[in-house]
Structure 1
Amino acid sequence: MTSLVGNADARAAISNADLAGNLHHAWLIAGPEGVGKASHAREVAALLLARAAGDSAGRTVAMIEAGAHPDYRVLQRLPVDDKTDKGLQRSIKIEQVRGLGAMFATKPSMSSRRVVIIDPIDDVERPGASNALLKNLEEPPTGTIFLLVSHAPGRLLPTIRSRCRVLRFDPLGDGEVAGVLRAALPEASAAEIATLVRAGAGSPGRALRFAGLDLAAIESALVAIARDGDPTNQQRVRLSKALGVKAAQQRYEAFLERVPAFIAEQARMLGGDRLRDALDAYAAAADLARASIAQSLDAATTAFEMGTLVSRLAPRR
């Protein structure tokens, strides 16, 4: 039924619970971002609705994709402005959660079941929207199954977590990630696939966000800086110039995400004083990456500073 890879036991759990007649009303599908949690939620929602209606999964999927299934709802962050491309709202608003009330005021239309997906539950506005959702989880409307996707379940209200059965998705193996990438990027070279696998760190979704951004060149610069320390500033100046222009915004954002992970990878091979230096560099890089986005710091300056943090990995001379 599915094109997803990895986490086979987790992907079978909801379907098996349904077949066994002990399907819980709320599932917290938790794990790293980009490992297939949301895709699984949508697939299993279609399966549950089709089974309940005695229908074919294909017809149910067609209705869902057409936005015509009355017993299916997905809550996500809404666009800032429907008429312009200005990104998404910062959270899932209380009005969206309360909007489910109209759906819950009547019985399911096509069977005895309906499904609500919240993707991700981490984005639900607190405390208002979270509390509104909690009321539905505590007193679930008849026949309603909630599928809550979470990248950071530890940050959720304990009362929400306690109402859910947790379904954990783990990072994928390198071979599984490579397989997803080869299918999605058939023209990519073996070297590019290998670079994206490292950057993905078990997440095909994260790896695909880096595709087409010439991550290999960034990776090569980071490796050189970590090895030699960049005593002439040459590598850092190149990064600064390449990533500091407006046209490189996507590549710059990928760089900000990649540097802390790169430092962490290198730290695993170190010990003693060099390990302590690497851990300090990792913490500083993670803080700088967050601040750069939140405070709109100058990209060229930030890229140079990130390179300086990577240079701490080099052997002391």
Structure 2
Amino acid sequence: MIGHESAEKAFLEAWQSGRLHHAWLLAGPQGMGKGAFAARAARFLATHGRGGDGQEVSLDDPGDAAAAKLVEAGNHPEILHLARQVKDKSKDLARNITIDQVRGIIRRLHLSLSLGDWRIIIVDAVDDLETDGANALLKTLEEPPARTLFLLVSHSPGRLLPTIRSRCRILRFQPVERDVMTTWLHDQRPMLDAAEVRAVAAASGGVPGKALLLIDSDVSAMEKKLLAIASSGDPGNRLREALAREVGGTSNRARLELVIDIVPVLLARLARDRPIAEIAPVLAQWDQVQRTMRDAIRGSYDGAMIGFAIGNCLAELARRERSAAR
């Protein structure tokens, strides 16, 4: 994994000292691999015992072989998970982690450990807890059972109950620097040309998971479609309507997120390539795109409508250029 070095160091130092805090909040943008870090930390605790002997280790050290096999098979009895569940007769996930799910985990905490020295509860993501579930979890965090450790994954820690945050030690997962991201992407996808890797690294905002999604979604092809709108103005709406169809609907949510990710970077690049006197119109559309995306994130929205609105912002650039030329 990339971008986990400081978090791993802090976690292992606490384990080595024998003073491992009972609750850890893994905070950072979605796509930083926080869930993967939680899984690594849980595996480590399940295979390495209490700690406190100061030995030098890494999260990926093998530890107890029998326990490791159980973890790899997903059958270790002391690693418990809380996450949104798939709805009945549907492939969609439920909106929240329910109070009943939390109560089921809490009942397990009253049982004696059956294997190893730790019971680990991974909540991915704690942002998804419904209100009653968050309050129930808080009570357990305030009076945790012995040898129980919580790993709470959060993409938006500022939205959590302050009392939950205050009970946790926070591990922050910061976006990766662009040069580090570029090198990593070259290693992950050596078949890509340098220009595309640089474009993906810039559009990803330093988030590795987002970078891989951008590559798999063919960012270069989408950029060409967006640039065609910005350069032509799309006088007959044909390109904007095609964009709306491509990103509309639940099945096309990944394409919509791709557009949302790359349009601000695309506009910033267009601004850099223009004379100073011509930058203002690009910045105005950049601001409009940001407002459009904020409105989209706040509520239930139609992807086709958002795609068309973003297309309008790009088409406006061409219209302003033609007006300035006259």
Normalising by the residue count of structure 1, what TM-score does the alignment of the two structures yield?
A: 0.83
| Mapped partners of 2:139, 2:271: distance in 1 | 45
Aligned to 1:238: 239
- Equivalences for residues 73-92 of structure 1 within 5 A: 73-81=80-88, 84=90, 86-92=91-97
* SS of residue matched to 1:294: coil
Q: What SS does structure 2 have at the residue aligned with 1:146?
A: strand
Partner SS, residue 150 of structure 2: strand
Of residues 181, 184, 196, the one that matches 2:200 is 196
Q: 2:260 aligns with which of 245, 257, 262?
A: 257
- The SS at the match of 1:211 is helix
Moved more, 148-157 or 99-108: 99-108
**Structure 2 residue 225 is the aligned partner of structure 1 residue 221:** yes
SS of 2:140's equivalent in the other structure is helix
2:173 corresponds in structure 1 to 169
Corresponding residue of 1:27: 24
Contact 1:281/1:309 (<8 A) preserved? yes
Aligned-CA RMSD value: 3.1
**In 2, are the aligned partners of 1:92 and 1:124 still within 8 Å (CA)?**
yes
Match for 1:135: what amino acid?
K
User: d(CA) in 2 for partners of 1:73 and 1:251?
Assistant: 29
C-alpha offsets along residues 182-227 of structure 1, whole Å, 9 cap, x if unaligned?
A: 444454444443332222111111122233322212223334555x
CA distance in 1, matches of 2:185, 2:150: 31
Q: For 1:303, what is the secondary structure of its paired residue? A: helix
In 2, Cα distance between the equivalents of 1:100 and 1:251? Answer: 32
CA gap of 1:221–1:256, structure 2 versus 1, over 3 A, is: closer
Q: Take 1:21 and 1:197, find their aligned partners in 2: how far apart are those partners?
A: 39
Change (3 A) 1:252 1:9: closer
Moved more, 30-39 or 153-162: 30-39
Once the two structures are overlaid, the 10-residue window that deviates more, 88-97 or 253-262, is: 253-262
What is the one-letter code of the residue matched to 1:15?
Answer: L
Classify the secondary structure of the residue corresponding to 2:49.
helix
| 1:123 equivalent among 123, 128, 142 | 128
Shift of 1:51: 1.4
What residue is the counterpart of 1:13 in the other structure?
10
Contact 2:229-2:240 at 8 Å conserved across structures: no
Alignment partner of 1:280 out of 273, 277, 287: 287
Match of 2:117 among 104, 112, 121: 112
Aligned to 1:158: 162
* Structure 1 residue 121: Cα displacement: 0.8
Over 3 Å counting, the alpha-carbon distance change for 1:147 and 1:10 in structure 2 is same
| 272-281 vs 135-144, greater mean Cα deviation | 272-281
8 Å CA contact 2:203–2:262 kept in 1: the answer is no
Which stretch of the first structure deviates more once superposed, 41-50 or 54-63?
A: 54-63
Whether the aligned pair in 1 keeps the contact of 2:243 and 2:308 (CA below 8 Å) is no
How far apart, in 1, do the equivalents of 2:4 and 2:155 lie? 15
User: What amino acid is aligned across from residue 73 of structure 1 in structure 2?
Assistant: L
Aligned AA (1:294): S
State how far apart, in whole Å, the 1-side matches of 2:306 and 2:289 are: 15
Q: Which letter maps to 1:253?
A: L
How far apart are the structure 2 equivalents of 1:295 and 1:289? 6
